[in-house]
């Protein structure tokens, strides 16, 4: 039985990846912070099927201990301070977890488990103000926030460890991927929530936005620049690409995305349209929510992954958005998230 260690198991990708690996017969170990594991998280429903090693990516000794305890064949390093916007106010923590944490993990692998294969979560945010579009494995990085800068650092160190020590480390340069498990402060989930409120007639939401105000107030959702555009895919599809990367004979880095860019305006159209509402009646723009620096045209050229990994996204943008809206409606009605079918038999 193959053994996998997943850091960031309590997050969106960690939970989807765990389901994917359990279905393939893996013994899965999750690395999680004590305070996160003992409250509801994305992987709570998997608790009886996995083993948890408690620890913090900010502590080298915890990382080394997790590798020693789990004796993994594969490690998926997903843990990160994952909010680019917040990385400005949490820059030291972002560098500690996303940068140094990754390097400590590579070093522990080198010292104690050199035959283990490592997937490291890089990000399309590294392209920042990209010099060309679409972006592939050869596009230069041009990060524009502390999150992206820390990701570039870890990405380069992954390559350096691979080339210097012959370790098996593959980096996935993943474009945005969403799901019904995304936390509420992420843009797509906020829109899904807004559409769910519109469908249920909620005028003032109990959930607050980053300014501490109701996400929906007087029946309106406040958003920033409606022209921002992203390449949004479905998280459940993307975790399969992570696994496929580690099944290759030779480790390498891959760009993963749908190759289709959509604006926030289009996202609103689909989300509100799915519950029979016109987004223009329900959304207002707020200059305070406009980011000072927005990335350029960020869209994936994932042709190498298609060719070498045989990877294709399977969930359409519209389907994903509808699922997210439906999940938010269920949540607002007080129903617990439906994860039936995601558990191993
Ligand atoms: P997520 O839902 O925010 O999950 C992040 C995970 O990292 C959580 O389990 C979190 O645990 C953990 N973590 C944060 N700080 C930690 C620390 N100090 N010690 C231990 N664990 C810590 O993010 P995601 O969407 O699943 O993304 C997974 C990875 O892919 C991240 O590295 C992210 O940067 C990268 N990525 C994501 C996207 C995307 O669109 N989703 C795109 C490109 C790259 P807590 O529960 O304790 O906070």
State pLDDT tens for residues 241-293: 999 999 999 999 999 999 999 999 999 999 999 999 999 999 999 887 777 66
* Ligand 1, atom 41: closest residue by C-alpha: 177
Contact in structure between 311 and 243 (CB atoms under 8 Å): no
Residue 123 catalytic?
Answer: yes
Residue 222 catalytic?
Answer: no
Ligand 1 in reach of 10 Cβ (< 6 A): yes
Ligand 1 in reach of 30 Cβ (< 6 A): no
- 93 Cα–ligand 1 center, Å: 13
How many separate helices (H) and strands (E) can be counted in the chain?
11, 14
Ligand 1 in reach of 216 Cβ (< 6 A): no
Which position among 125, 178, 180, 240 bears the catalytic label? 125
85: pLDDT strictly greater than 70: yes
- pLDDT (0 to 100) of residue 289: 78
* Ligand 1, atom 22: closest residue by C-alpha: 79
- pLDDT (0 to 100) of residue 339: 66
Residue 74 catalytic?
Answer: no
- pLDDT (0 to 100) of residue 344: 57
Q: Determine the 3-state secondary structure of 193 from DSSP.
A: helix
Instruction: Write down all domains in the chain, each with its CATH number in brackets.
Output: 3-180+231-261+297-316 (3.40.50.720)
**Extended beta strands in the chain, E state:** 3-7, 27-32, 51-54, 74-77, 117-123, 168-174, 177-178, 216-217, 220-223, 229-230, 233-234, 254-256, 262-263, 283-285
Ligand 1 in reach of 142 Cβ (< 6 A): no
- pLDDT (0 to 100) of residue 296: 74
Average pLDDT (15-36) is: 98
Average pLDDT (317-324) is: 98
Pairing of strands 168-174, 117-123: parallel
Distance CA 173, CA 190 (A): 24
340: pLDDT strictly greater than 50: no
Distance CA 344, CA 264 (A): 36
* Ligand 1, atom 34: closest residue by C-alpha: 82
- pLDDT (0 to 100) of residue 67: 98
Ligand 1 in reach of 78 Cβ (< 6 A): yes
Please, what is the Cα angle at 150 between 144 and 183, to 5 degrees? 85
31: pLDDT strictly greater than 80: yes
In this structure, what DSSP letter does residue 215 have? S
pTM score > 0.75 for this model?
yes
Share the mean pLDDT of the chain. 95
- 22 Cα–ligand 1 center, Å: 20
Ligand 1 in reach of 81 Cβ (< 6 A): yes
Ligand 1 in reach of 41 Cβ (< 6 A): yes
- 12 Cα–ligand 1 center, Å: 7
Q: How confident is the model at residue 297 (pLDDT cuts 50, 70, 90)?
A: confident
């Amino acid at each position: 039985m193959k053994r996998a260690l997943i850091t960031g198991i309590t997050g969106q990708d960690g939970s989807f990846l765990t389901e994917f690996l359990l279905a393939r017969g893996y013994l899965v170990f999750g690395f999680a912070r004590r305070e996160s594991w003992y409250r509801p998280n994305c992987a709570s429903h998997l608790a009886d099927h996995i083993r948890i090693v408690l620890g913090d990516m900010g502590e080298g000794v915890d990382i080394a201990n997790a590798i020693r305890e789990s004796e993994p064949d594969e490690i998926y390093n997903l843990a990160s301070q994952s909010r680019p916007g917040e990385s400005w106010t949490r820059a030291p923590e972002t560098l500690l977890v996303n940068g140094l944490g990754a390097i400590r993990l590579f070093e522990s692998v080198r010292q104690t488990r050199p035959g283990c294969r490592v997937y490291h979560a890089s990000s399309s945010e590294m392209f920042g103000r990209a010099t060309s579009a679409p972006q592939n494995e050869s596009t230069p990085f041009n990060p524009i926030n502390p999150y992206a800068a820390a990701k570039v650092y870890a990405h380069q160190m992954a390559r350096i460890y691979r080339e210097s020590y012959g370790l098996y480390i593959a980096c996935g340069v993943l474009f945005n991927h969403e799901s019904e498990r995304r936390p509420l402060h992420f843009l797509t989930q906020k829109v899904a929530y807004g559409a769910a409120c519109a469908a249920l007639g909620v005028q003032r939401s109990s959930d607050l936005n980053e300014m501490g105000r109701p996400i929906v107030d007087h029946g309106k959702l406040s958003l920033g620049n409606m022209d921002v555009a992203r390449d949004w895919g479905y998280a459940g599809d993307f975790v399969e690409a992570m696994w496929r990367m580690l099944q290759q004979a030779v480790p390498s880095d891959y760009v993963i995305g749908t190759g289709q860019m959509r604006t926030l305006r289009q996202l609103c159209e689909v989300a509100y349209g799915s519950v029979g509402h016109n987004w223009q009646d329900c959304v207002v723009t707020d200059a305070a929510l406009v980011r000072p620096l927005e990335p350029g045209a960020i869209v994936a050229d994932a042709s190498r992954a298609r060719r070498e990994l045989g990877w294709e996204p399977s969930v359409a943008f519209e389907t994903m958005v509808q699922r997210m809206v439906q999940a938010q409606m269920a949540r607002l009605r007080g129903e617990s998230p439906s994860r039936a079918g995601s558990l191993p038999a």
